[in-house]
Structure 1
């Protein structure tokens, strides 16, 4: 009998996670049933408990529930505790819930696959939510020269920077205080979902800069279009999605799937609509 897993989010209908995990299952010979489950905005924990009672063994967690997922866990991985956010839940045989965060390792693996250097570089991260919290430690472990966090509410970015200052040179504030040029700009806001662009200065990119959007779509996001027009190399978040899913699959099944063919399948599906 297949183990049951899901992605919990709101909204969640658009999620590619079922396709990704079914592809991993077919590739590795580890059968599982994987569905997308809509959790009410005020009922995330109840939705998780109901899924477990129906035979669920684990879940990926997407917006806006990553910090709520952290709170309901009995234990968390070190990287999840550092992030203060969980995107992968596992139900143990003893009924205890373990939480992990695979966003950071997913982003890092995709940046490495795309040959984006981090050491000694000036990095800007846009946003201060759960998705951003999950990637800061792995990014800082790669020893960038400086990491800047910018957010509409500058105080949130400042507080987030303070939480990670022991790992490197980190600062945070509002978009209005951004200065200088960056080698890598990562959009961790949800603005792309609404087709919106954060209020960014025109002179943001170094000549060989990379713009990375954690979101993805069939066509480049508004942020990536804007960045491309200003000379940056652009990468969307499809690779990050597949890589973080592969890490979650490994946590659940103890098998590490190949990501490149699944990413190619997903890209083809997106383009064909």
Structure 2
């Protein structure tokens, strides 16, 4: 019988996670089953308990259940505590569960291993101040950037996250031009074709403009960044693959190579 894993979400039919994890399983020469599970709002705990009771060995969590998953588990990794959200659940036995957050790991792996851009010594700007941003900040800081600045439409939210991690916060209107090496969009505005209210000059001399959303939702931001001077742009597909690879490693003790999976997903999915 195949080892069983799943991703929970609402909606969930669009998720590329099953294809990604099957590519990891091919690398490991393993037989796994990875499914999409739609859960009703307010019914995540029931759906998760049922999945694990039926033999599930691990789960990924996507919107809108990352906070629900945080409260569902019994123990939290330091990454999950920092994010206040869980996107990976690992059974511990005895009906207990560990929650982790692999989003930051996925982002860093994409930038450093797929894009071959080191983060050490770089000046990084993150736009947004939601749970996704909170989850990636500590992992980015571990790469020893020269500077990390958070900016958000609501200044107080950026200030709160900056204070929690000992980094800087600046209002969008005060961001300097031609200063940042890497600009990361952690807002969800692209899903409705909305740009962050950031000046074009911020992208001058920018090595990489990166949107944590993947697919068409990222294109509005990335096109603006390219037109404004960003040398390279990337959506969050590599981040999705990187965070999935880290989840797979947590569950199975096997570390997938994300580069051929990225090439496969770009070509076939």
TM-score (norm 1): 0.90
Question: Which SS does the other structure have where 2:93 is aligned?
Answer: coil
Tell me if structure 1 keeps the 8 A contact 2:190–2:217.
Answer: no
C-alpha deviations, 1:136-167, integer Å up to 9, x for none? 011112222221112222211111111111xx
Q: For 2:223, which of 200, 222, 225 is the aligned residue?
A: 225
Is 1:76–1:98's contact at 8 Å kept on the other side of the alignment? yes
In 1, Cα distance between equivalents of 2:134 and 2:61: 14
Q: Provide the rounded CA distance (Å) in 1 between the counterparts of 2:144 and 2:209.
A: 19
Specify whether residues 163 and 208 from structure 1 end up closer, same or farther in structure 2 by C-alpha distance, changes over 3 A only: closer
1:172 alignment counterpart: 169
State the SS of the aligned residue for 2:40: coil
Residue 163 of structure 2: aligned partner: 162
Shift of 1:102: 1.1
Q: Secondary structure at the match of 1:41?
A: coil
Q: Report the RMSD for the aligned CA atoms in angstroms.
A: 1.9
Aligned equivalent of 1:84: 84
Q: Give the gaps of 5 or more residues in structure 2.
A: none
TM-superposed deviation, 1:34: 0.8
Shift of 1:220: 5.8
1:42-74 deviation line (CA, Å, top 9, x unaligned) = 222222223223332211111222232222211
Structure 1: distance between partners of 2:15 and 2:159: 31
Q: Equivalent residue of 2:223, what SS?
A: helix
Unaligned runs of 5+ in 1: none
SS at match of 1:98: strand
Residues 173 and 220 of structure 1, relative CA distance in 2, 3 Å threshold: closer
Aligned partners of 2:5 and 2:59 also within 8 Å: yes
Contact 1:155 1:174 in 2 (8 A): no
> 1:124 matched to which residue of 2?
125
| Distance across 2 between alignment mates of 1:135 and 1:21 | 22
Rounded Cα–Cα distance in structure 2 between residues aligned with 1:201 and 1:267? 31
For residue 222 of structure 1, report the CA deviation from its aligned partner. Answer: 0.8
Partner of 1:265: 264
1:145 aligns with 2:143: no
Residue 25 of structure 1 corresponds to 25
Seen in structure 2, the aligned counterparts of structure 1 residues 189 and 36 have a Cα distance that, compared at 3 Å, is same
Secondary structure of the 2:229 match is coil
- Distance of aligned partners of 1:220 and 1:72 in 2 relative to their CA distance in 1, 3 Å threshold: closer
Shift of 1:83: 2.5
- Give how far 1:75 is off: 0.9
